[in-house]
Amino acid sequence: MTFENITVVTENNLGLITINRPSKLNALNKQTIIDLHEAFKALDADALVKAIIITGSGEKAFVAGADIAEFAHFDEEEGEKLAAEGQILLFDLVQNLRTPVIAAINGFALGGGLELAMACHFRIASENARMGLPEVSLGVIPGYGGTQRLPQLIGKGRAMEMIMTAGMVTAPDALAWGLVNHVVPQAELLDFARGIAAKITKNSPVAIAKAIKAVNAGFEEGADGYNVEIKSFGEAFGTVDFKEGTTAFLKKRKPEFPGK
């Protein structure tokens, strides 16, 4: 797959997406969002890809926000359309992808960059990572899900403080607050992420997809996460993966799950 602003590599049941706009600190512009949309859709459709890692090029930034030059002149209608289209194309897509997505945060994750990382299923940060939602310093608010996902991850009070001060948090604070799962030296970031991804890819991709759906349902307005879990649990019994997993367990061998 060839894209303008990202690179995509697949190996060992893993897809690696690297946002590649180093001169702009990997800022999200319209084309990058389109590229990411297409890459995630393609990797999700690939039966051999059982986990995805997303990171930024270089050592300074994962994504240092949105490309402000693209929307500085927008009016109200254009601003609302920008947020709505972005959420549909990328952020909601990532959150609900059936293939697990790990954010490897290698430096600054600000504004849309932090929102992208939060849309992923979990996050790993390098020791030099800094995270924040600075939108109010520009006279706007987070528009790609930041006001919703940040409180879910770290609690309402801390999220309010981060958003209202427009400040950045360090990797250790992000770890303590539950914003990221692990903090590692930058040189070890991708290998560490690959190690976790390797553990994921040994498990049933069908079951993982159902688990993602059930967990997400618990955070959706109007959805009953318990009912989604019950239904998904029952559906799993009709899958090839269930037969393989239980047979392997009873025969005391490692399961060999097929693709998605």
Short-list 2, 32, 54, CA closest to 190: 54
User: Residue 13 corresponds to which amino acid?
Assistant: N
Q: Is 115 a residue of the active site?
A: yes
- Strand (E) positions, 127-241? 130-132, 168-170, 182-184
Short-list 85, 96, 90, CA closest to 63: 90
Q: How far apart are CA 49 and CA 43, in angstroms?
A: 6
Strand 130-132: give its sheet, edge to edge. 61-64, 108-110, 130-132, 168-170
Task: Identify the active-site residue in 4, 59, 78, 115.
Answer: 115
Q: Is 127 a residue of the active site?
A: no
The three-class DSSP label of residue 105 is strand
Q: How far apart are CA 181 and CA 71, in angstroms?
A: 33
Longest dimension (CA), the chain: 65
The answer to whether 106 and 126 are in contact (CB under 8 A) is yes
Q: Nearest 5 degrees, angle CA 67-CA 72-CA 76?
A: 120
Task: Identify the active-site residue in 59, 127, 135, 220.
Answer: 135
Catalytic site residues?
115, 135
